[in-house]
Chains A and B, each alone.
Chain A
């Protein structure tokens, strides 16, 4: 049974400074004017669509707020979300690693993210400078400035979704302070990377012909050369977007650039790039292609293994997932066969090893695991969407009903701190007692016992704030505001009910009366009232 004992509304208190809150926060993301980024529109001509066929629309979260999600394209790419869908994140999601699956291509990754309430998707496009290294003022520093601006404009930590070198640009931005000296690690919550060459690109190894990096890598590079040679013969042929012949030669051609040279394994530029800050969640998504090349070897001397790992054919998985907390790879297996083409050409066919289809010419296979196709792959885009959704959802208050107590005729809620050290409750008015939010548990320091609290009753075993804004230590016999069986309120979550907001954080539980702004923070070794 819940028993409530009113505590004296007098006593010792600490006054703390109110944390700085950006002023004039933008309520509508279309009003945000940050240099370098533009709000991805909901496409009008050929819109991204919801599962019910309706066009995707941008909407605020349950708080009425928007969280900025910045899309950063890769090397030689584009990010702008336009009707022609040439942006790296604008192509419809139409590929799957499950070769028997049929994908309904209703929307792009940007469209999919725009479906999340509260996601305001912005694009950072540095196409005109993308042959340069990420320390170019138009790339890493400019991205950093855009992040500063979006954070200030919304008051919300930014989420970054980056492809390829865009992930390195993000690393640069987050490890360098802005003009105002701000630590950008405090402005970004999550980074999702698609095929980012954190330690270098596979293609860069082609330039090192005397490399002795082992049998597996040697075979991988041989396969890449084979593909390049065959694709080179077909340079004038019409190729479908997303095939290896569409992807590889262009990437190799771009390697003779500042950025290309920096992407060599062990380059000075990569060595100078610091790891992502520890406070930022980094989730890496990567392609994991394996080619089986029957009877590969040295003429009649066969290799011991004829399976060739090729990552996304530009970046190997170990490079793409280096430094990430969460990894997700899209796995594709193909059989690569050399055939005789017409008029003395050498042809390649790709057979899907998971099914007994007739092998297709290399110019017609759009692999779900290939570098530029990762953002068209349903498995990876679903993962990215889940990560962004979870981040935004994590900022929202919990559903109060999950914490409601069953007490007849009385509205009351309870929860436990993640440490288990505090039992907290929020209860409505009861007879002549005002509504109150309180947390009970051992804390220090505690001021001297006031005369109003009798010796036989525990003093200072918790703090409370009531609907009048009164805040004090508790004078109570046992648990009074809860029965100690409530659910845990996870870190970062708030329970908002009955005019109070209680928030769980590693530094303690804070409860505030919304009307007066008064409240407390309680932890085992510290507490404060305000």
Chain B
């Protein structure tokens, strides 16, 4: 982030000079505020974190744990199936995340539900398919993060949203 420290004014002078100094200071402050807002809007959001087998960076500790756990989606998706979803998945977790898929977790999106779980955005790119971003409903079971259910994130047109950055692996 750019330096937006206080800019000292010149030596004391006439009223005009003071006004000019004040205007300069005010202008810098406004620029800083605008830059800050722009940063918050376009730069505050971290890019997707590739976690396919790799540790994800940033985010809270819990978000990071979730991201690390989701890294196993590529290698061992069955281990991520929540107990309550086992009957529905019926041993077909690999169909949910086909071999050769890439997984990208947006740690910054992690939203705890307050009852031992939470939701995080995960983008899955699978061979022959466009990458899809899912909201994954997570639950902590005996110290292990598991996926209960996913819902595709809709774009403005109402369809499933493709990954903003594309697959990373």
Contact = CB atoms under 8 A, between A and B. Distances in A.
Contacts of B161: 340
A451 to B, nearest CB: 86
A300 B129 contact: yes
Nearest to A298: B96
B167 interface: no
Interface stretch (A69-77, A229-237, A366-374): A229-237
Interface in B104-136: 106, 108-109, 111-119, 121-122, 124, 126, 129, 132-136
B70 to A, nearest CB: 10
A65 B134 CA distance: 63
B153 to A, nearest CB: 5
Contacts of A294: 151-152, 154
A229 B109 CA distance: 11
A344 B152 contact: no
A343 B38 CA distance: 12
Given A211-B84, A229-B111, A233-B111, A218 B154 contact: no
Interface stretch (B9-17, B27-35, B85-93): B85-93
Interface string B40-74: 11001110000000000000000000000000010
A340 B153 contact: yes
A350 interface: no
Contacts of A297: 96, 149-150
Contact of B113 (A213, A228, A296): A228
A307 to B, nearest CB: 13
Given A337-B154, A338-B135, A343-B44, A298 B88 contact: yes
Interface in A293-315: 293-301, 303
B29 to A, nearest CB: 23
A31 B6 CA distance: 72
Contacts of B40: 343
Contacts of A295: 151-152, 160
Interface stretch (A39-47, A219-227, A518-526): A219-227
Interface residues of A, number: 41
Contacts of B150: 296-299
Interface string B132-160: 11111101110000011111111000101
Interface in A222-254: 222, 225-226, 228-230, 232-233, 249, 252-253
A5 interface: no
B113 A225 contact: yes
Interface in A350-368: none
A51 interface: no
B95 to A, nearest CB: 5
B86 A212 contact: yes
Given A298-B150, A346-B135, A229 B118 contact: yes
Contacts of B45: 343-344
A219 B111 contact: no
Interface in A196-225: 206-207, 209-215, 218-219, 221-222, 225
B152 to A, nearest CB: 5
A138 B157 CA distance: 54
Given A212-B86, A346-B135, A232 B115 contact: no
B84 A210 contact: yes
Contacts of A212: 83-84, 86-87
Nearest to A300: B96
A516 interface: no
A507 interface: no
B160 A299 contact: no
A149 B68 CA distance: 63
A340 B119 CA distance: 12
Contacts of A299: 73, 77, 96-97, 122, 124, 134, 136, 147, 150
B119 A226 contact: yes
A257 interface: no
Contact of A338 (B41, B98, B154): B154
Contacts of B82: 209
Interface string A321-348: 0000000000000000111100111100
A69 B116 CA distance: 42
Given A210-B141, A229-B119, A297-B150, 10 more contacts: A225-B117, A225-B119, A225-B139, A230-B111, A294-B151, A299-B147, A300-B97, A338-B153, A340-B121, A346-B153
10 residue pairs, one from A and one from B, having the closest CB atoms: A301-B96, A299-B96, A222-B149, A229-B119, A229-B111, A228-B113, A344-B108, A229-B113, A298-B96, A338-B135
17 contacts: A209-B83, A211-B84, A215-B88, A218-B85, A228-B114, A229-B119, A229-B137, A296-B151, A299-B77, A299-B147, A300-B95, A303-B88, A337-B154, A337-B158, A338-B152, A339-B154, A340-B153
Interface of A: 206-207, 209-215, 218-219, 221-222, 225-226, 228-230, 232-233, 249, 252-253, 293-301, 303, 337-340, 343-346
